Structure 1
């Protein structure tokens, strides 16, 4: 692992499966981790205790990221914790399934608020903190930004916009030493997935050259790399983490 000792990282949506995997990898690299959650305080506190029991440093912070002011407060609290903020991972989001033909405008807007506008607000707030020292901002997008799925028109559209937001932010914040990238995961395993969607897992195994589902740590490792000095000349990039599925021919 790269050595991130002495740094502070804010991970949004860290009480979820992928978010906790990201937070754990940053902690393993030596970064102090601000664990954001919205409603699931118990899981966030359990994650903080897990990091601390392994010798790391973490704290839980609550915020509703659909509220712009709450995003600013969250970033300010994370930065005030140790007097700095070196990395932000915009992981928080939602993924409901809805048929495009019957989808309401409210459902569409809710997807963009949770997955895109939240990242916009947190990024804007973090960039203000990082302007003097530089830093790394990573959005968690999806391979669905380029490969749509049935029932995910709103999700795929929001993730595609997230990739472009990162590129635009990389352009405008680059002169301040702030790097902005995206990580696009494929299918990431979670408890109960094999029971909930066995046919999907079977299709994934047959499509993936590496022959397995992703693990939250796989996403976390990509984020740690992008936040580390090893990626000092990488910005505006979308790093695909999907076991090779995107390399498979579509015909």
Structure 2
């Protein structure tokens, strides 16, 4: 039985959380060998690797707020997965809530370094490997609908995600001649354990606004990533695939 990603090797950053875990498992289910990156949640990442099984998943650790660590994580992932890398998913991110008045430059940099600078550095490192392999590859950033629809308390997050979308378009332009496709997936509100209890009003508003009437799931995002990573999307690059149940289509007036 053949799979969409047979023979591919993928690195998923931030793979210990809900969305990253779902992406890693989905890519592995379609035949890819997967490196799961985590910053501190090593046990959770190892649990996901064990669930994937068959020796097709390894764990790499590092703080992607540091450029040198980004390059080291990418190289380690490739070295431990047969010496090659064909796919990178930049998923690692933080999402603190903090009002813009009173936000310090250090607060701003903490979000931008993790959500944007890591994308730049990991992409650069992965693309260098992909160019050397001469077979190309795919790079997918996890952005957000907040790149175009900001939320209160998320000025740093929204700005970083908007930049992530533009980075993908710029990278698609410059890396395309080397057979490297770069795209983004922009999720809407994705369900997680305890969300309905901690933010019932927000969940209710979302469900009322979404034409599909529900929150997204990590698997919804993973399926979008799989599509963009697979040969099915071989002529798609520089694209932002919005996965939000139709919320962005709703009139705001």
| TM-score normalised by length of structure 2 | 0.96
> Are 1:48 and 2:49 matched, yes or no?
yes
Counterpart-to-counterpart distance in 2, 1:153 and 1:48: 34
Q: What residue number does 2:150 align with?
A: 148
Q: Deviations for 1:55-105, whole angstroms, at most 9, x for unmatched residues?
A: 571011101101111111111111112121110000001000000011111
Corresponding residue pairs, total: 249
Secondary structure (helix, strand or coil) at the match of 1:139 reads: strand
- Give yes or no for contact 1:2–1:225 (8 Å, CA) kept in 2: no
Secondary structure (helix, strand or coil) at the match of 2:252 reads: coil
Q: What residue number does 1:206 align with?
A: 208
Q: What residue number does 2:252 align with?
A: 250
Gaps of 5+ in 2: none
Counterpart-to-counterpart distance in 2, 1:56 and 1:191: 29
1:195–1:56 Cα change, 3 Å: farther
Counterpart-to-counterpart distance in 2, 1:188 and 1:35: 20
Counterpart-to-counterpart distance in 2, 1:182 and 1:95: 18
Counterpart-to-counterpart distance in 1, 2:201 and 2:112: 29
Secondary structure (helix, strand or coil) at the match of 2:251 reads: coil
| TM-score normalised by length of structure 1 | 0.97
Counterpart among 160, 171, 182 of residue 184 in structure 2 = 182
**CA-atom RMSD in angstroms:** 1.1
Gaps of 5+ in 1: none
Q: Deviations for 1:175-219, whole angstroms, at most 9, x for unmatched residues?
A: 000000000000001111111111000000000111111110110
Secondary structure (helix, strand or coil) at the match of 2:215 reads: coil
